[in-house]
Structure 1
Amino acid sequence: MEHESMEETAKILKLLGDKTRLSMIGLLLKKECCVCEFVELFKMSQPAISQHLRKLKDAELVNEQRRGQWIFYSLNPENAYFPLVQDVIKHIPDQQEKFVLLEQQGLRITCNS
């Protein structure tokens, strides 16, 4: 069991080792986001953003909820590694400013169908 836990922890840390995914997690700690918001924030294509989110979802670090045509992502507090994720996030810059910037540019999206 301990070996599996080591493997799983390494997998989670590897996922968080990607700057984009780490930033996404930091943003999701503040509030849920839609793919389209991440596209604006990271200036990346929708397929690239979706790939990052799929990896986080496959590891059960994030939940997705469909509302109409939109899919919203949020952190999964039920995940056994949620406390680890919270600890890691303490060591990166606060991501709130990215939301403020989006709002100032009129790009903060409330994807309500």
Structure 2
Amino acid sequence: MLKTSIEMDKAASILKLLGDKTRLTMMKILDKHDCCVCEFVEIFKTSQPSISQHLRKLRDIGLVKEERRGQWIFYSINKSNEYYPFIEQILNQLPSQDDKLKELEEQGARITCC
């Protein structure tokens, strides 16, 4: 049976994490696309350590998962996480971020590390 409610403390900590625009944007992108750190570095024009820190925070509470492909690690949203239905409702209210990936493709920077 699908859990229909979420504890207030857990909701608050998830919302606090998603209150950061970078992490919220990452989650929206990851909801439809797997990405590696190098792609997020290009999208957000920030350092690799900064991106890795954002992803670590999301991974630590189980919102994103990682998969090694060769020497690279790709991130995706963890749709089997018990809180995904809560997060999905939030993400569905947000505008598509596909244009950011389209820009990367046009620049030839999409999945440059692979």
Considering the TM-score relative to the shorter chain, is it more than 0.5?
yes
Q: In 2, distance between residues paired with 1:23 and 1:59?
A: 17
Q: CA deviation at 1:33?
A: 0.3
What SS does the corresponding residue of 2:93 show, helix, strand or coil?
coil
Normalising by the residue count of structure 1, what TM-score does the alignment of the two structures yield? 0.91
Q: In 2, distance between residues paired with 1:22 and 1:84?
A: 14
1:50 equivalent in structure 2 = 52
Deviations 1:16-58 (A, max 9, x none): 1100000000000111000000000000100000000000000
1:14 equivalent in structure 2 = 16
1:90 aligns with 2:95: no
Q: In 2, distance between residues paired with 1:71 and 1:92?
A: 26
Normalising by the residue count of structure 2, what TM-score does the alignment of the two structures yield? 0.90
Alignment identity in percent?
A: 60
CA root-mean-square deviation: 1.3
The answer to whether the Cα contact below 8 Å between 2:38 and 2:112 also exists between their aligned partners in 1 is: no
Q: CA deviation at 1:78?
A: 1.1
What SS does the corresponding residue of 1:64 show, helix, strand or coil?
strand
